[in-house]
Amino acid sequence: MIHTLQLRITPEEAYNDTLYLSVLSQQLAVDASRITGYRRIKESVDARNARQIRINSTVEVTLDEPPNLELYQPITWKSVEKAAHSVIIIGGGPAGLFAALRLLEKGIRPIIVERGKEVRSRRRDLALMNKSGIVNAESNYCFGEGGAGTYSDGKLYTRSSKRGNIQRILQLFHQFGAPDKILYQSHPHIGTNKLPQIITAMRLEIEAHGGVYLLEKKVTNLVAEGQHIKKVITHTGEMFEADAVIIATGHSARDIYTLFHDNHWLLEAKPFALGVRIEHPQSLIDSIQYHTPIRDPLLPPASYSLVEQVNTRGVFSFCMCPGGIIAPAATAQGELVVNGWSPSKRNNPYSNSGMVVQVGVSDAYQYFGSKSVDADDPLLLMRFQQAIEQKAFLVGSGNLIAPAQRMTDFVRKQPSTSLPVCSYIPGTQACDLDAILPNFIANTLREGCKLFGKKMKGYLTDAAIMVATESRTSSPVRIPRHPEKLTHPQLGNVYPCGEGAGYAGGIVSAAMDGESVANAIAERFGYPKK
């Protein structure tokens, strides 16, 4: 017999198997020997009450009969060597990978064309970037096998629940090697050290079923005939012909946006957010969030999510990484971009998060001065983003040394004479962030810092450092598409997909969008819906 229980228990009871079992037997009023198995369904930490931190746990308990050990029905794939249809997927990030897996499920052959390197060679390029400040424009935190997802933090939660089946995406990650806990925790996290193996396992599965995942092939041209793309051409001159083309190139593929623009194919400027990455000692964030000087080792390093409106403009924390480090995420030399990640144990002594401000087309227009730019330019926000990144690079005196300021100095508008120790390996240099950020961003951030300091007592502190620039929060460009067919309005066999096309903002939503686009293609080719 299976019982579902809702528990509200202490961390000790939740994370000690013996104690957990005794809670289950008490709740069901049965002897523990009758419990043959249990499966956690949901779990979240409730730290609202300082003296009573509780774990909310939903669990399925089996009594007196063999438990069902299968967590879910695993997904299987068809062999597509001789498939009737093939699809070119430009970009092998989460959107491209999950589109490929879904196409395989349907019996359609995916051919992924990816500009970057496989995960291990890519790791060497990341090391070089961190140590020497040299950016490989084809192999970095954004480009390479698995896209920006591979060396990301691996937080697998999203607010886009309407865009697809989140649980299916989590199950697929689990099927490829992610730990069980991602299936039930309210804020699932994999960690940068575990993601690369999972991504490689996905690629190998695609290849084992007759799909193709080509590396170090940058798409440089798309040849149209009438309303269709007929040929996809790479930098080495290779040419592919396909029934459909998925554009899953991520938010940093500026050359793809430029290619569309040069061909007069529709694009739209898309509002995004820009600011800094802020880093605190993790112990400080723990003490604020758990209301105790020292975190109970049973509890995870604390996180936060902050949002405020300042004069109708949003300022918010973004991609918070407890126990993480700040990483250089530029995709070209001469730009300074930062992001954050953490290992699965989240055991670094720092806590970092993006702290960013909404940016719209009119902001970029004013920034450049109305005479020098065209307000209708769909790439205006991309140009704005790049201009700030280049400015930050120059202020940081090159080699990816990041301009930074003590949080309290930034709020007081005074230069920092020293900086807190920071996890960012290429190094930081004290500067006035107002020299990089446009006024509307700097002033909104300043007010945001004050408001966040009131919400989280101790957050506004001289122990925190703000590092420029957090600029790749989402795509500054949208590639429009038909709401149901998901095709580009002018190119009937082109499917804009994932974060770069403006339809996702993170790993899970990009993966779900990949699946949606694959479903739309399968439907068009007449494959059964299921």
Q: Given the rule CB under 6 A, which residues bind ligand FAD?
A: 90-96, 113-116, 141-144, 147-149, 152-155, 218-219, 248-250, 253, 255-256, 319, 327, 329, 339, 341, 498-500, 504, 506-508, 510
CA atoms of 432 and 438, how far apart (whole Å): 12
Task: Provide the minimum distance between the beta carbon of 409 and ligand FAD in the complex, in angstroms, as a whole number.
Answer: 26
Task: Provide the minimum distance between the beta carbon of 514 and ligand FAD in the complex, in angstroms, as a whole number.
Answer: 7
**Sign of the CA dihedral running 475, 480, 481, 483:** positive
Alpha-carbon dihedral angle through residues 341, 345, 351, 354, given to the nearest 10 degrees: 30
Task: Provide the minimum distance between the beta carbon of 239 and ligand FAD in the complex, in angstroms, as a whole number.
Answer: 14
CA atoms of 145 and 110, how far apart (whole Å): 15
Query: The tokens 């190998």 sit on which residue?
Result: 204
Closest CB to ligand FAD among 88 and 315? Answer: 88
- Residue 167: closest CA among 301, 45, 67, 75: 75
Task: Provide the minimum distance between the beta carbon of 219 and ligand FAD in the complex, in angstroms, as a whole number.
Answer: 4
Task: Provide the minimum distance between the beta carbon of 336 and ligand FAD in the complex, in angstroms, as a whole number.
Answer: 14
Task: Provide the minimum distance between the beta carbon of 16 and ligand FAD in the complex, in angstroms, as a whole number.
Answer: 29
Closest CB to ligand FAD among 310 and 400? Answer: 400
Closest CB to ligand FAD among 339 and 428? Answer: 339
Task: Provide the minimum distance between the beta carbon of 279 and ligand FAD in the complex, in angstroms, as a whole number.
Answer: 14
Could you tell me the strand order of the sheet in which 465-470 lies?
A: 307-310, 313-322, 350-359, 272-281, 465-470, 402-406, 428-430
Closest CB to ligand FAD among 396 and 506? Answer: 506
Contact 459, 280 (CB under 8 A): yes
Neighbours of 75 (CB within 10 A): 14
Task: Provide the minimum distance between the beta carbon of 115 and ligand FAD in the complex, in angstroms, as a whole number.
Answer: 4
Closest CB to ligand FAD among 57 and 282? Answer: 282
CA atoms of 386 and 332, how far apart (whole Å): 10
- Residue 169: closest CA among 39, 72, 87: 72
The string of DSSP codes covering 44-90 is EEE-SSTT--EEEEEEEEEESS------S--------TT-S-EEEEE
Show the tokens assigned to 528.
Answer: 């059964």
CA atoms of 517 and 486, how far apart (whole Å): 7
Closest CB to ligand FAD among 113 and 364? Answer: 113
Closest CB to ligand FAD among 92 and 448? Answer: 92
Task: Provide the minimum distance between the beta carbon of 162 and ligand FAD in the complex, in angstroms, as a whole number.
Answer: 17
DSSP H helices in 107-165: 119-132
Single-letter amino acid, residue 88: I
Closest CB to ligand FAD among 7 and 89? Answer: 89
Show the tokens assigned to 84.
Answer: 């009737």
Neighbours of 11 (CB within 10 A): 16
CA atoms of 342 and 320, how far apart (whole Å): 10
Closest CB to ligand FAD among 119 and 441? Answer: 119
